[in-house]
Amino acid sequence: MNNRVEVHEFLTSRRAKITPERAGIPDTGRRRVPGLRRGEVAALAGVSVEYYAKLERGSLAGVSAGVLEAIARALQLDDAERAHLSRLAQEANGSNALLRTSRRPKRRTVRPSLQWSLDAITTPAIVVNNRSDLLAANLLGRAMHSDFYTDPTAAPNFARFTFLDSAARRFYPDWDLFADMTVANLRTAAGIDPHDKGLHDLVGELSTRSDDFRRRWGAHNVRIHGTGVKHFHHHIVGDLALAYESMELRAEPDLTMTIYAAEPDSSTAHALTLLASWAASASDASLSASDR
């Protein structure tokens, strides 16, 4: 991905989101495009209009940390957006080059010990890479995401499922929210490793096949994995409201483990018990079939 283009589109998209009222400045004159003018951002950041225009054209090489911070404040960037801007600046300076060359090739499988760790967890747990590939799951995690495994010839991927599989509209009751989050995760991953060919190919495929994806990709939104509650509708056990905790794996920096849990004695907790029973029965049936 072209760094100058990424910088330009990210900064202009953030500027478009800030109204004069939100920025605390007078709203004067007719505006041709949404958001602040370049001159207003420059004034808020304490730099010249010419200098800010140069930055917004994509030239972040050599920009000091102080100027980046001033731009981040003027554009009211959140933590994820600040981190993304910082990574774009590092890429412009070439300071990500050593990190890129030291990265190991991305794998499609996980270490046996990581799978054992997943299997020891009694609630749904999965491991996903930066491209949103679902690399591993424990028995309950696989049962929860059973819609992802309907095609044995294709590796399960959250982005492809969300935008190309009709089952996603049922699995995600708030599909628009999950679609936004999925694309923001991919956009964040592109900032972390802009030279990931597999990610380029995935974005190209989805941009070609899905108008919903292409529109969201153009918004340049980013996010940080964390914690919260997600709502699902499973085709066997119905509605699930699951708290989640996502954590990066220290031994595998490109991988994220997410563990889901239900509030004790809730309807979701009872649904997970039913899901575990269904998963065990399905697993036993599969093993019996393989022994024939």
Q: pLDDT confidence of 282, banded at 50, 70, 90? A: confident
Which 3 state secondary structure label does DSSP give 257? strand
In angstroms, the CA 16 to CA 34 distance is 5
The C-alpha angle with vertex 139 and arms to 120 and 143, in degrees rounded to 5, equals 145
> What proportion of the chain, given as a percentage, has pLDDT over 70?
92
Per-residue pLDDT, 152: 83
In angstroms, the CA 196 to CA 130 distance is 10
Q: pLDDT confidence of 12, banded at 50, 70, 90? A: very high
**99 has a pLDDT exceeding 90:** no
Dihedral angle of Cα 39, 44, 48, 53, to the nearest 10 degrees:
-50
For 210-229, b where at least 16 C-beta lie within 10 A, e where not — what string? beebeebbeebbbbebeeee
Which residues, in sequence order, are CB contacts of 10 under 8 Å at separation 6+?
84, 85, 88, 220
In angstroms, the CA 88 to CA 109 distance is 29
Where do we find the tokens 């933590």? Answer: 79
- DSSP per position, 263-287: PTTSHHHHHHHHHHHHHHHHHHHHH
Helix (H) or strand (E) holding 233: strand 227-234
90 versus 100: which is more confidently predicted?
Answer: 90
pLDDT (tens digit, 9 = 90+) per residue, 167-213?
A: 999 999 999 999 999 999 999 999 999 999 999 999 999 999 999 99
Burial class (CB in 10 A: 0-12, 13-18, 19+), 12: middle
Per-residue pLDDT, 229: 97
pLDDT (tens digit, 9 = 90+) per residue, 17-63?
A: 999 999 999 998 888 888 999 999 999 999 999 999 999 999 999 99
Per-residue pLDDT, 285: 57
Give the length of the chain. 292
Where do we find the tokens 């495994």? Answer: 149
Q: pLDDT confidence of 1, banded at 50, 70, 90? A: confident
Contact 155, 133 (CB under 8 A): yes
